[in-house]
């Protein structure tokens, strides 16, 4: 009688568990919404306009540094204020570079004191834990299954804007911006022996019965399952800053290196551009609604300089 083996296999990466899954189901997205409970928010109605910019050429800093006003530095992240003329010139500079990617988030309208959430990226699932289901102790069972516990990690940027109040020179608001970049998955295997069911042995018959009987007897088998551990590179900025009325805040979440073709390294810098506009005639974005736009490289019209 052969051993009864039951194994549930869940694969979300390559054979070694180190690759990052991709495909239509994991396409990056931009989502924007008002936070539940914001109905009690006060203040004049405003709209947030947020762009996500990925730069591969860091020379822009040398070109624009004299024109930007430093606001904050936290670790590898930095925040600048830009007037409308500098913002228009900077966006034109970005759009002239074919390697630059600009993504426009859906506009979110809210009372100034309300809280909004924006996410740019993708959610990736992985096997974080294996629940052992067996009819005996470890290495003593004859029936064994692994029930995977699926966890998720966000690969991208999450932004929260809250507690805004109008001042003479713009909107002062609370910022929390987090960038989690999934580098890879590390993998570890759990292995266990499974024993045959205890049944009557097969009786030998015939000239070669002894050899056949030995081959026919059930043997212990080894089962293995993979657990995954995400490797994440994170950056974060947190503070209360002023968004100029006729300009924007530009937030850099730092640069990262990744391997390119022919042993070259590619350096990317992730930036978030945040503007606001008084919008007294507009209705606030419904709290229950969530707007979604697929991420694609985009050529956007630059704001006109006043």
- Say whether pLDDT at 306 is over 50: no
Q: What percent of the chain has pLDDT over 70?
A: 73
pLDDT 10s digits, 122-166: 999 999 999 999 999 999 999 999 999 999 999 999 999 999 999
CB 179 within 8 A of CB 253: yes
Give the CA angle between residues 62, 243, 246 to the nearest 5°.
Answer: 80
Distance CA 49, CA 116 (A): 11
Number of neighbours of residue 208 by Cβ within 10 angstroms: 10
Give the pLDDT mean for 13-33. 51
pLDDT 10s digits, 65-114: 999 999 999 999 999 999 999 999 999 999 999 989 999 999 999 999 99
Task: Name the token pair of 17.
Answer: 């568990």
Task: Name the token pair of 32.
Answer: 């924007």
Residue of 48, 186, 197 lying closest to 127 (CA atoms) = 186
Residue of 192, 181, 76, 184 lying closest to 140 (CA atoms) = 192
Give the pLDDT confidence score for residue 267 in this predicted structure.
79
User: What are the backbone dihedrals phi and psi of residue 212, each rounded to the nearest 5 degrees, phi first?
Assistant: -65, -40
- Say whether pLDDT at 45 is over 70: yes
pTM higher than 0.85, yes or no? no
CB 110 within 8 A of CB 286: no
- The burial of 36, by beta-carbon neighbours within 10 Å (0-12 exposed, 13-18 middle, 19 or more buried), is given as exposed
Sequential DSSP letters for the chain: -----------SS-TTS-S---SGGG--EEEEEEPTTGGG--SSEEEEEEEEEEES-TTHHHHHGGGSEEEEEETTEEEEEE-HHHHHHHHHHHHT-TT-EEEEPPPEEEETT--EEEEEEEEEEEEEEEEEEESSSTTT-SSEEEEEEEEEEEEEEEEEEEEEEEETTEEEEEEEEEEEEEEEEEEEEEEEEEPPP--PPPPP-STTHHHHHHHHS---EEEEEEEEEEEEEEEEEEEEEEEETTSEEEEEEEEEEEE-GGG-EEEEEEEEEEEEEE-TTSPPPPTT--EEEE------PPPPP-
Give the pLDDT confidence score for residue 205 in this predicted structure.
56
Residue of 28, 32, 47, 29 lying closest to 290 (CA atoms) = 32
C-alpha separations of 39 from 159, 253, 288 in Å? 20, 31, 11
């Amino acid at each position: 009688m052969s051993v009864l083996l039951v194994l549930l296999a869940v694969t979300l990466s390559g054979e070694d568990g180190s690759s990052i899954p991709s495909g239509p189901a994991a396409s990056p997205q931009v989502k924007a919404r008002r936070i539940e409970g914001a109905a009690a928010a006060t203040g004049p109605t405003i709209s947030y306009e947020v762009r996500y910019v990925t730069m591969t050429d860091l020379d822009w800093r040398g070109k624009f540094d004299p024109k930007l006003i430093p606001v904050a530095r936290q670790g590898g992240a930095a925040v600048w204020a830009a007037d409308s003329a500098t913002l228009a010139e900077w966006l034109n500079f970005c759009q002239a570079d074919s390697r630059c990617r600009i993504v426009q988030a859906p506009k979110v309208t809210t009372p100034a004191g309300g809280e909004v959430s924006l996410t740019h990226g993708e959610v990736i699932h992985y096997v974080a834990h294996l629940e052992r289901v067996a009819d005996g102790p470890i290495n003593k069972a004859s029936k064994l299954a692994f029930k995977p516990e699926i966890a998720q990690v966000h690969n991208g940027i999450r932004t929260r804007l809250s507690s805004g109040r109008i001042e003479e020179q713009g909107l002062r608001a609370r910022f929390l911006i987090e960038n989690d970049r999934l580098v890879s998955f590390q993998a570890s295997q759990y292995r266990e022996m499974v024993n045959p069911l205890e049944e009557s042995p097969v009786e030998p018959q015939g000239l070669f019965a002894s050899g056949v009987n030995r081959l026919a007897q059930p043997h212990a088998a080894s089962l293995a399952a993979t657990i995954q551990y995400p490797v994440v590179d994170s950056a974060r900025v947190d503070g209360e800053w002023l968004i100029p009325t006729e300009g924007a805040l530009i937030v850099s979440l730092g640069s990262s290196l990744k391997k390119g073709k022919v042993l070259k390294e590619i350096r990317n810098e992730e930036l978030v551009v945040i503007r606001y506009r008084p919008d007294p005639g507009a209705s606030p974005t419904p709290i229950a609604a969530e707007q979604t736009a697929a991420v694609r490289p985009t050529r956007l019209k630059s704001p006109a300089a006043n």
